[in-house]
Amino acid sequence: MDATPSDTDPVLTEIVRNALDAIADEIALIVLRTACSGIVRDSMDYSTAVCDAAGATLAQGLTTPLHLGSFQDAMQALIKRFHGDVAEGDIFLFNDPYLAAGQHLPDLYIIRPVFVGGTLEAWATTVAHHNDVGGIVPGSNSIGSTEIYQEGLRLPFLKLSVAGIENRAILDILSANVRVPEKVLGDLNAQIAATAIGVREIQALFAKYGKTTLRATFAEIHDHAERLARAVIAEIPDGSYRFESWIDGFGEDPEPIRFSVEVTVAGDEITVDLAGTSPQVPAGINAPVPFTKAACYAAIRSIMGEEIPNAQGFTRPIHVKAPEGSIVNPRSPGACGARGITGFRTMDTVFGALAQAVPHRVPADGNGGSSIPAIGGEHQGKPFVFVETFMGNWGGSSAHDGQEGVTHMGANQSNVPVEMIEAEYPIRIEQYALVANSGGPGKHRGGLAMIRDYRFLGDFGTMTLRSDKRRFPPFGLAGGKPGTPCLSIVNPDGEARMLPVLVTQPVMLKNGDLFRHVLPGAGGWGPPYEREPERVLEDVILGKVDRAHAREAYGVVITGEPPRVDIAATRTARTEGLS
């Protein structure tokens, strides 16, 4: 029996909110435990959400913010396309940015409607980055694509199941167009299974509280998120805050790509205007506008408290303007297979603007999201595709040093464990370490860079690479210094070949070749000479900084064994350095 709206009180709202969060997390855990590819199972490059009947996100799994903020556009387009044609047991599949408000072709959505007593009441949703969806390079992350037709299999809104009856033809088409169908279908089945559990748990919630109560509670969750978000925005000083940053560019002779943002705070509303950002490019790094909006939402959400529900309501006071035909809102058929780098850069640019308004809430620049090496080929007569998201570090903040071995704020993902790579692929990881002296100097040092060496053991293969921040390394804040640039080298132990940050032509690999990738070091926060000498000493003892760097960057002189601070020499060095 349905409860009356008067039963929907703040306590019940919080109970339901946490129940929805738990359901979204359960969907995510099922994907994690049942997926087949490393990019989903180990890197955790996927996301889950529970949406209300109108397609607005109510709860998000603890996965990728850059995915989750774009569910709204996809759901609105799906509901419009199938208005009046949604039945219990339907399963929707799509990926196309232009035909279905998707993000890029490797991200396959599996969406299920939730019916209660014959009425559509909610949606259980997933999106996962698949190992391969065809196209001109293994892994389907081609920087060299000039239009989306080259990037893989395009899927408009499709019904994979109609009222519980599977359309096998769609799976056959998918299998025929990808390099590793067992991985792709395995991950797709993980999404299908996870959303089935999501439907079951949402229906159980309705059975407990009833339609009337939950409809009112869902509306209150959105309204509550909006009220809290507006309260946070109202605390930010009114004004316009501008910042610009750059992607190095693509190919062997890169031309920098500009990102420009103006963040305007007016009362309890905030506008992010990306006018002045570079036009779309003939390469696979254009970011469809749902992804761009998600990047802006995630950046602003990061300066809000954790008590705010991750519901669509928090985005109501946030307005995003992205000029059509730009790299952050391309026109069809602009290529977008490696659009992640553009979303990360959009976030980092918004952070740069927000740092002017709320300097103590924003850290210095980090490594700029994940690098994605994609290696595919043949080994012992069988094709393989290895893709991972390699990250990361954060910049120093007003409160502490930057962290190492962490993901970018826009992607709660993970580096694939060495053992999983070596067990599954003809690749040996010969080095995986932090890089000394790479964190940007500051009162609070930037997080150190990471290095990974991949030895190719296959018969033959090709590699593509998405990376960034070489010519424009991570910036420091409040007087902090930039971090170190990224490096990508084939055969550093032989005839070394430096690769561009965004590789447009696949690199041919033969058995025994070594690929070395060094992430950027993060930026520092605050003047380096304000760092306590004892903390510099600790970094030297831990091997994060050597003695020469301590002297040069921080004016701290370390002598003796065991190491100690030479107080008099340090005082002299800092005085000379400031003069």
Q: Where would I find the H helices in 236-364? A: 289-301, 340-357
**CB hemisphere CA count around 61 (13 angstroms):** 30
Q: Would you state the torsion angle of the CA atoms of residues 19, 23, 25, 28, taken in this order, to the nearest 10 degrees?
A: 180
Position 101 pLDDT exceeds 60:
yes
Identify whether 333 is preceded by a cis peptide bond (ω within 30 of 0).
yes
Of 303, 310, 351, nearest in space to 62 by CA: 310
Across the range 117-143, mean pLDDT stands at 96
Query: What's the Rg (C-alpha) of the chain?
Result: 24
Across the range 412-426, mean pLDDT stands at 93
**CB hemisphere CA count around 270 (13 angstroms):** 29
For residue 123, list its beta bridge partners.
Answer: 51, 113
Position 321 pLDDT exceeds 80:
yes
Across the range 479-491, mean pLDDT stands at 98
- 367 secondary structure, DSSP code: S
What tens digit of pLDDT does each residue of 253-278 get? 999 999 999 999 999 999 999 999 99
Using CA atoms, how far apart are residues 198 and 29, in angstroms rounded to an integer?
11
Identify whether 563 is preceded by a cis peptide bond (ω within 30 of 0).
no
The pTM assigned to this predicted structure is 0.94
Across the range 512-537, mean pLDDT stands at 98
Phi then psi dihedrals of residue 354, to 5 deg? -65, -30
For residue 131, the one-letter residue type is: N
Using CA atoms, how far apart are residues 214 and 171, in angstroms rounded to an integer?
36
Report which secondary-structure segment, H or E, holds 184: helix 181-209
Neighbour count for residue 557 (Cβ, 10 Å): 21
Position 373 pLDDT exceeds 70:
yes
Neighbour count for residue 305 (Cβ, 10 Å): 10
Neighbour count for residue 72 (Cβ, 10 Å): 22
What tens digit of pLDDT does each residue of 511-522 get? 999 999 999 999
Percent of the chain clearing pLDDT 70 (strictly above): 99
Task: Give SS3 for 21.
Answer: helix
Query: What is the β-pairing status of strands 269-273 and 318-321?
Result: parallel
Position 7 pLDDT exceeds 70:
no
Query: How would DSSP label each residue in 545-564?
Result: S-HHHHHHHH---EETTTTE
Tell me the CA distances in angstroms from 205 to 7, 353, 559, one per residue in order: 15, 42, 65
Task: Give SS3 for 424.
Answer: helix
Task: Give SS3 for 73.
Answer: helix
Of 498, 492, 505, 464, nearest in space to 373 by CA: 464
The pLDDT assigned to 70 comes to 80
Pick from 52-56, 368-372, 447-451: least confident: 368-372
Using CA atoms, how far apart are residues 13 and 225, in angstroms rounded to an integer?
12
The pLDDT assigned to 64 comes to 86
The pLDDT assigned to 262 comes to 98
Query: How would DSSP label each residue in 96-122?
Result: -HHHHS-S-TTEEEEEEEEEETTEEEE
| Sequence-distant (≥ 6) Cβ neighbours of residue 554 within 8 angstroms | 441, 528, 529, 531, 533, 536, 545
Neighbour count for residue 199 (Cβ, 10 Å): 20
The whole-chain average pLDDT of the chain stands at 95
The pLDDT assigned to 3 comes to 38
Neighbour count for residue 61 (Cβ, 10 Å): 29
Using CA atoms, how far apart are residues 173 and 383, in angstroms rounded to an integer?
19
What tens digit of pLDDT does each residue of 425-435 get? 999 999 999 99
Q: Quick one: 188 exposed, middle or buried, by C-beta within 10 A (0-12, 13-18, 19+)? A: buried
Position 338 pLDDT exceeds 50:
yes
The pLDDT assigned to 63 comes to 83
pLDDT band of 62, cuts 50, 70, 90: confident
For residue 293, the one-letter residue type is: K
